[in-house]
Amino acid sequence: MHKHHNTLGLATTRQTATTAADIAKSRPVQPVTLIRPHAAARAARFFVEKFPGRSLYAVKANPSPDLIQVLWDSGITHYDVASIAEVRLVARLLPDATLCFMHPVKAPEAIEEAYFTHGCRTFSLDSLEELDKILLATNHATDLTLCVRLRVSSEHSKLSLASKFGAAPGETKDLLFRARQAADALGICFHVGSQAMTPEAYANALERVRAAIVDAAVTVDVIDVGGGFPSSYPGMEPPPLERYFETIHRAFESLPVSYSSELWAEPGRALCAEYSSLIVRVERRRGDELYINDGAYGALFDAAHIGWRFPVQHLREPDSHAKDMAFSFYGPTCDDMDHMAGPFLLPADTQAGEYIEIGMLGAYGCAMRTTFNGFGSDETVIMQDEPMVSLYIEADEQVASNVVTL
Ligand SMILES: *Cc1c(COP(=O)(O)O)cnc(C)c1O
């Protein structure tokens, strides 16, 4: 057991436990964050081995230094960073990593520091203004990989990224042409939206890419299909990730790009969703509403603000024999907005003082946490057991059963 500081600077006590129920038995007063490095390592190895190109980790999904180290140790060498703080974080943790600054609207000072201090050579852009900004801030560098971000549909995704960034069809020809003149290597990137529920999302976006290349008649060196690879949540169980990889590979192979061009992806959620879960305590029950000690300002931002559902598990020994019923949650702050509609299915006899594990909080969960109103988790425990849900264990079993039937 040793002292450790998390991103909020709070002291945490590290220990290893066997099950979430064991931790509940010690009756923690604050929420407890559980991390499963082996689950993140398995996801990273899956992408490294099976994605038919290079996988960049999108740091914003979870910037925990421990996680970033696990991904590096599992073969992820490239990092998609979006702010100067993320650039500095990865440069400090992993001096040999390759940084790709994939936010299309950057501060000139951030570009300059990333290029001159941290060796970043890859930048994305979606406008002529950003192209000029990058060239000025890098003193007209000639060793840049410039990725032009196209606007694509988010129709197959649970979380849209379609309106904010990306060059529209009428703008791409000129932009690709100008970027080609300035770049050492020219890339095209997009983001289909987070939690894309079908591989078709990528096939459709790659058709947009094809049209843009044909229209601009430029040589393209990198095709970057962005993030959006799904994880599994209640009511949002996606097809196997191999299907996404096959669809992308097929579409990429048929693009009019040079023989030596590279395929990249920027998974965030898919690499870290299974990394964390949270143990919360029920402080009060009011009918079908449970007042728990974490919420919208903690790790449950998405559960509150966009109605995301997460798997839950009641931690009582022996197990409750009551039938499951649908609950909603209130978080601990004084605010009506601190409400998670769910529904979360838990035994009908769940009561105050009992503990619940909320799963799949590794992506956009633990990363969104604040200490608003003085609440939050200050303890982290490293677990060796399996996450409540895993895309990667199932995928392995499918591979095994395919082998048998072939
Ligand atoms: C957020 C983001 C990602 C990661 O998206 P996921 O849906 O978590 O995979 C990748 N690339 C860019 C540019 C992003 O903004």
When pLDDT is cut at 50, 70 and 90, the band that residue 120 belongs to is very high
- Residue closest to 86 by CA, chosen among 133, 75, 107: 107
Question: Which residues lie across from 379 on neighbouring strands?
Answer: 32
Q: What is the sign, positive or negative, of the torsion defined by CA atoms of 396, 401, 402, 404? A: positive
pLDDT confidence of residue 159: 83
Q: Cα separation of 47 and 404, whole Å?
A: 23
Is residue 158 in contact with ligand 1, taking CB distance under 6 Å?
no
Q: Give the H or E element holding residue 114.
A: helix 108-116
| Average pLDDT along the chain | 92
Q: How many CB atoms lie within 10 A of CB 234?
A: 17
DSSP state, residue 323: P
Q: What is the pLDDT of residue 131?
A: 98
User: Measured from the CB, is residue 362 less than 6 Å from ligand 1?
Assistant: no
pTM of the model: 0.92
Give the nearest ligand 1 atom to 161 CA: 15
CA of residue 198 to ligand 1 center, whole Å: 16
pLDDT, tens digit (0-9, with 9 covering 90-100), for 215-236:
999 999 999 999 999 999 999 9
Q: What is the pLDDT of residue 372?
A: 82
DSSP letter assigned to residue 321: -
CA–CA distance, 21 with 355 (Å, rounded to integer): 8
In 183-223, which residue ranges form alpha helices assigned H by DSSP? 200-216
Per-residue pLDDT at 158 = 86
Res 371: pLDDT = 80
Q: Please give the pLDDT value at position 375.
A: 81
- Please give the distance, rounded to the nearest whole angstrom, from the Cα atom of residue 382 to the centre of ligand 1: 26
Whose Cα sits closest to atom 3 in ligand 1? 227
Percentage of residues in the chain with pLDDT exceeding 90? 83
Q: Which residues lie below 8 Å from residue 157, measured CB to CB, with a gap of 6+? A: 192, 193, 194, 195, 196, 197, 201, 228
Residue 406 confidence (pLDDT) above 50: no
DSSP string, 224-279: E--S-----BTTB-PPPHHHHHHHHHHHHHTSS--TT-EEEE--SHHHHGGGEEEE
The pLDDT score that the predictor gives to residue 392 is: 95
**CB environment 131-168: b (16+ within 10 A), e (fewer):** bebbbebbeebeebbbbbbbbbebebbbeebbeebbbe
- Please tell me the predicted confidence (pLDDT) of residue 15: 59
Q: Tokens 């976006």: give the residue.
A: 205
* Residue that wins the pLDDT comparison between 370 and 343: 343
**What does the pLDDT read at residue 8?**
42
Please give the pLDDT value at position 16: 63
Average pLDDT over residues 183-203: 97
pLDDT reported for residue 5: 44
Q: Is the CB of 194 under 6 A from ligand 1?
A: yes
How far does residue 194's CA lie from ligand 1's centre (Å)?
Answer: 7
Q: Give residue 247's Cα distance to chain centre.
A: 21
pLDDT at 153: 87
Alpha-helix residue ranges (DSSP H) falling in 119-199: 128-137, 169-182
Decide whether any atom of ligand 1 lies within 6 Å of the 238 Cβ. Answer: no
Which pLDDT score is estimated for 401?
A: 46
CA distance 364 to 383: 20
Q: Are 120 and 101 in contact (CB under 8 A)?
A: yes
